[in-house]
Structure 1
Amino acid sequence: MSKNRKPLIVLLAAPETSASVLYGLYDVLQSVGAVYADMVVGAPGDELLDVRIASTDGKAFRCLGNIPVEPHTAVSQIDMPDAVIVCDMYTSIYDVPKGRHPREIAWLRKVHSDGALLTSVCSGSLMLAEAGLLDGHEATAHWAYRDMFQRHYPKVAFRNDSVLCLTAESDLIVTAGGVSAWHDLAVYLIARFCGYQHAIETAKVFLISGHSEGQSPYSVMTRPIETTDRQISDCQVWIADNYAVANPVEHMVGRSGLNARTFSRRFRSATGLSPIEYVQALRIEEAKQMLEIESYSVDDIGISVGYEDSASFRRLFKRSVGLSPAAYRKKFQHISQIAKPIEAV
């Protein structure tokens, strides 16, 4: 990068992009070097980054929520960005984005081979995966896309717990998790291109604190019912109401009429999890919901979802969620406190 120009950060957007991600990133990155000084000493400094919104053809469009977007440029008019942020590109967890965005993908491959840092927010990593740029790397996206990655992009090591995945940084790839993970990505990019102090100052301006605990506390078990394997789908429906019974896998095997080995193989093929992993995930999900809204003790909640041994329940919960049951309850307690005045109206 020439010392005579600002680092060029390109925000790649499309009609599937969230306005909050696109405009949030633009506002924060465009402010670096200018707004903090204005707030502290009353005199704005120089903007340190050249931030541009780009799309396939550079023409105006409307993103999610029917919000208008007027890109600065088309991707074909940008030869050498210092970094690209692929904004979220929403797609249903049932709708694999195969064959979409061919021009953007070709451009991403080119600028990456020329030395640009490629980053993504949330479902934006699906575009990087479709381009083959995540093959052989760890990467993250919103937790809801973990099954999609495992099924359709098996060469990518999906990090379900990660908010900001930096393990492929040396290969110029950085991915961020859910939609609000753009906060963490923005701070990272500011530190990389403008220095640590500017990252701290910008975080203070916008009250950005990051997600130090990762995605796990926010993750929810996705439960699509298998539609092509009748015996497995029947067991999924049954276990949803009977997760607390003793020996649940044995019950499902008996219900299916299959031998244990065949049942386990078909269950994993249909759900991506072994039967016992599925039961444990379901039990933990139910426990999380109870911790969020109920005042029962942790031990009573463990028993209610099928764990008589409270120590085992606590260990499994922390391994799955990244927080102890008590810490999880405390984390989400403030939401119920905010909601109570609303409910009382």
Structure 2
Amino acid sequence: MASQRKPLIVLLAAPETSASVLYGLFDVLVSAGAVYPDMVNGAPGDEMLDVRIVSADGKPFHCIGNIPVEPQAAIGDIEQADAVIVCDMYTSIYDVPKGRYPREVSWLRQVHNAGALVVSVCSGSLLLAETGLLDNRQATAHWAYRDMFQRHFPKITFRNESVLCLAEEADRIVTAGGVSAWHDLTVYLIARYCGYRTAIETAKVFLISGHSEGQSPYSVMTRPMESTDGPITDCQAWIADHYATAKPVEKMVARSGLNARTFSRRFRAATGFAPIEYVQALRVEEAKQMLETDEMSNDDVGAAIGYEDPASFRRVFKRGTGLSPAAYRKKFRRISQIARPHWGAHT
């Protein structure tokens, strides 16, 4: 009796790929069904997935950190697969993320048309976006690429808060957020192709707990788009030092010499934010740093950044981070407790 074909999972990599993503995905996926029985019962089980690394030409290369990669195939050797994962492919937030991978873009369209689930991790979503498969769809990537998606892929609804975006799952498209989102992705893929129980067992082996709170607690306000709009640039510089002032948008409008409607339009064009959203983002960033390191009460933190009403502060903060100020402080204080004994050790 012929053995049942294993689902084929293909990992697409390039020199711009992180070794941690590529080899992390490979190690966890290839272990599905095999490692847990070995660790619990002393007898390895059967590997349940056929996992292969591919690149444009199939030739050995070095990825980020000068780590060697030996692909098992070129993309032209793979016409069909159950799932194709576009690993992260680092791109500066100021680069034009198009035209770098023409062969990969064409191949991804082909394998998706042939029935494959197409998945991306972190900056791999930029490559997937270039295929057009994400047009008029929801997608995620690392939070730092939000502005890049708005500038270069305006047809895509960017889900800044998502670690794993499953909104387009029915059309065989899934996108994952930051680099470590591959943890969540492996659990999803193993559950999809091997079953829920195997996914749980594999997560136990690798201590994978997922990012249930999403990306928002980790995101940082990135440097706004470069602007040649003098009045707006001046207001950005001013508000960076005066974000806690009362009625900040009114004061920026007055400073600019523009009427409110024109100011709002030009401010959004220059920064990607409505003026009040920009102020709130600045305030939340300052509050996050204070909650991470200071001993001030949560209400005092809110007052220090411009919110005399504690309820208003909590509401704005949770909208920006997905967590209450108290929950945020608790989460990142745990990290500081791990790091604190080593602070200054290498200075």
Q: TM-score with structure 2 length normalisation?
A: 0.97
Bigger shift: 239-248 or 20-29?
A: 239-248
Q: Distance in 2 between matches of 1:225 and 1:198?
A: 45
Partner of 1:248: 248
Match of residue 169 from structure 1: 169
**Residue type matched to 2:320 in 1?**
S
- Alpha-carbon contact 1:225-1:236 (below 8 Å) kept: no
Task: Indicate the residue corresponding to 2:17 in structure 1.
Answer: 17
Q: Distance in 2 between matches of 1:150 and 1:125?
A: 13
Tell me what 2:196 maps to: 196
Cα distance between partner residues in 2 of 1:101 and 1:343 = 41
Offset at 1:275? 0.8
**1:224 to partner: Cα distance:** 2.7
Counterpart residue type for residue 139 of structure 2? A
Alignment of 1:1-345 (within 5 A): 4-224=4-224, 226-343=226-343
Shift of 1:207: 0.3
1-structure distance, mates of 2:9, 2:221: 35
Residues 344 and 92 of structure 1: CA distance in aligned 2, closer, same or farther (over 3 Å): closer
Tell me if the contact between 2:268 and 2:274 (Cα under 8 Å) persists in the aligned partners.
yes
CA RMSD of aligned residues (A): 1.3
Deviation at 1:3, TM superposition (A): 6.8
1:118-166 deviations in Å (ceiling 9; x for gaps): 0010111111111100012111101111111112111111111111111
Identity of paired residues, percent? 76
Determine if contact 2:125/2:141 at 8 Å carries over to the other structure: yes
2:62 alignment partner, SS class: strand
Q: 2-side partners of 1:337 and 1:125: how far apart?
A: 34
**CA separation in 2, counterparts of 1:147 and 1:333?**
29
Higher mean alpha-carbon deviation, 256-265 vs 194-203, is at 256-265
* Equivalent pair of 1:225/1:233 in contact (CA under 8 Å): no
CA positional deviation for 1:83: 0.2
SS across alignment from 2:209: coil
- Match for 1:10: what amino acid? V
Ranges of 4+ aligned residues in structure 1 off by more than 6 Å: none
Q: Distance in 2 between matches of 1:163 and 1:176?
A: 5
- The residue type paired with residue 52 of structure 1 is R
Q: Residues 158-203 of structure 1, C-alpha deviation per residue, up to 9 Å, x if partnerless?
A: 1111111111000000000000000000000000001111100100
Q: Give the SS at the match of 1:199.
A: helix
Query: Which moves more between the two structures, 253-262 or 88-97?
Result: 253-262
Write the distance in 1 (CA, Å) between the matches of 2:300 and 2:144.
29
Aligned length: 344
Deviations 1:272-328 (A, max 9, x none): 111111001110111011101111001110010011111111111112211110000
Deviation at 1:254, TM superposition (A): 2.0
8 Å Cα contact 2:87-2:121 kept in structure 1 = yes
The alpha carbon displacement at 1:220 in A equals 0.9
Judge which range, 148-157 or 108-117, deviates more.
148-157
Q: Note the C-alpha offset of 1:227.
A: 3.3
C-alpha separation in 1, matches of 2:230 and 2:314 = 34
Structure 1 alignment gaps of length 5 or more: none
By how many angstroms is 1:344 displaced? 7.2
SS at match of 1:99: coil
Is the 8 Å Cα contact of residues 53 and 72 (structure 1) preserved in structure 2?
yes
**How far apart in 1 are the matches of 2:226 and 2:300?**
32
